[in-house]
Structure 1
Amino acid sequence: MKKNLLITCVMLLFAVVSMAQNKITVSGVIADKVGETVIGASVRVKGQENMGTITDIDGKYQLSGVPANATLVFSYIGMKEQEVVLNGRSTVNVTMEEDSQLIDEVIVVGYGSAKKRDLTGSIVTVKAAEIASKPSVNPLASIQGKVAGVQVVNTGRAGQDPEIRVRGTNSINGYTPLYVVDGLFTDNINYLNTADIESMEILKDPSSLAIFGVRGANGVIIITTKKAKEGKTQVNINGSVGWKTVTDHVSLTNAEQFKMLYNEQRMNQGGDPYDYTVWNADTDWQDEMFQTGFLTNNTVSIMASGERSKFYLGLGYVMEEGSIQSEKLNKFTVN
């Protein structure tokens, strides 16, 4: 009996010694790819949530009483979680990688935001390159025919704003949309130089217009103007010339046709033919009133940005002759 008790005590002693030998102290340094130490990274033993520590200001950690065959889990916000099997090692240095994930594209709507896939078709973005490819006096004329559901009708009169309708006429307060230029509400954008526009967003759907309330009932056009880009100095010079004319004239009679028709009318009414002895003119008043108008659009912009300052300067000159003689517009813009 005493012999069996002695053997049992010896075996327990060996087990305790063996367990003590399997416990080690692990230390090391955690850094990122560029060699910067990671402060406050979490180090824990997998399967034992109560056994862990964090790195100090130098990115160092130390963990005592760790099983020699344990698996350490290293984690940090914005970094990929890593697992390392010790296999008896007492020093483990880890290089952590950034955890970059693709997120859904977000569009800012008024004072909120929404996923682009939820607003497909309700928001249309027109970039600066698309606007610049169709130079015009008014920025709205540049989007004519580019946006579905938006009707832009140019009157041909020099300097007059085009008529624009977003989703037709849907309000008793008229059809003019709300303009938001760099976050500020305005009633028109004829003071803007087309070359100064970075992008133009047209909001057509009620879900994207809700933030604007009743003011957005006729649609909202959000415009962002160009800003200086850091580290770059750019000088842009653009110029364009063009002509415009009225091609669809109303068909009119000439002088001889008018005399014949008027005399037929008088005779059908029991009268005598009219005496046209002193009426010898044959004038097409449409030719006298309309003209082939000349227009030119010239812009110069300079943008630069340094460590402490940045600026954007845009100058523009527009000259446009109307389709009707004596109509002419000269406009200078400074941004």
Structure 2
Amino acid sequence: MAYRITLLPGDGIGPEVTDAAVAVLEATGLRFAWERFEEVGAAALQRYDTPLPEPVLDSIRKNRVALKGPVTTPVGKGFKSVNVQLRQKLDLYANVRPCKSLPGIETPFKNVNLVIFRENTEGLYAGIENYDERLEIADSIARISRKGSQRIIRFCFEYARRHGFRKVTLVHKANILKLTSGMFLNIGREIAQEYPEITFNDRIIDNMCMQLVVRPQDYECIVTTNLFGDILSDLAAGLVGGLGIVPGANIGDACAVFEAVHGSAPDIAGQNRANPTALIRSAVMMLRHLGEHAAADAVRDALYETFREGRYLTADLGGSATTSQFTEVVADRVRQRVSG
């Protein structure tokens, strides 16, 4: 049986890191049937008059799983983020961002192992904005619902229980945003009572930022609203080496999209210099989502060995290997593990 997966290479370095992830996945010996869509974002806009064509959404709904490279989002103008549209149209309410120290990567902190759970469909990213031309005032409404809060908080607790984590920290701004953040915090306290084996606490967002750059080892699972989660997940990535090495997943009840969370880096596109680690690690998350834990372990261990050895790292990690050289080394090590 082959797994049917929707493949969205994206733009910039997206096709290069996507091809790398596909090569490593196929080295596991599992069979994949890829439904590849080259045109999303600006390329799709020119042809379909939308950055996210309906056939792409239909494919993800049908296959229930997608692997996605980075897609450029215009800043301050142009079309709405493809990432945001995917999350809202497919109701991918849980953004999951593991941030774990990798061997061979020098960072100020050791043994960081935390996961950010970001509510993905509402908050300030709900897209409820207004502009009063007469007064020149722009408003953006942060929509927080009981349903949306309950399901992301419960998702976090269930993940913690399933993966053996013992702490959940809820991040908010309830001292100022008393209705929105206040409701989120109160719901967290209610749900925490259902998981007595897990220690629950809460932090105000500004304090949480300080805590993470002082003692990140004190935290395990962090759950928060959309904007705060967006900020904290990038901050946490910086603790372990940057966006180029951390994975990401957007998960809903019906389907899931696994993606690299870094940008499209158009300045190095097509030069065989991109680091595919983030998307390869996202592919590991995808394998676990599919229940293929032995294959996921093989890819993880091959990647860790490559980092630990340090001979075939890309330039952003202090090495001189090309994208294809790094990929070949990791894929060969995956094959060795699954065959031996």
Q: TM-score range by the shorter chain?
A: under 0.3
The structure that is helix-richer by fraction is 2
Larger Rg: 1
Please identify which structure carries the higher strand content.
Answer: 1
Structure 1 length-normalised TM = 0.19
TM-score (norm 2): 0.19
The higher-RCO structure (CA 8 Å, 6+ apart) is 2
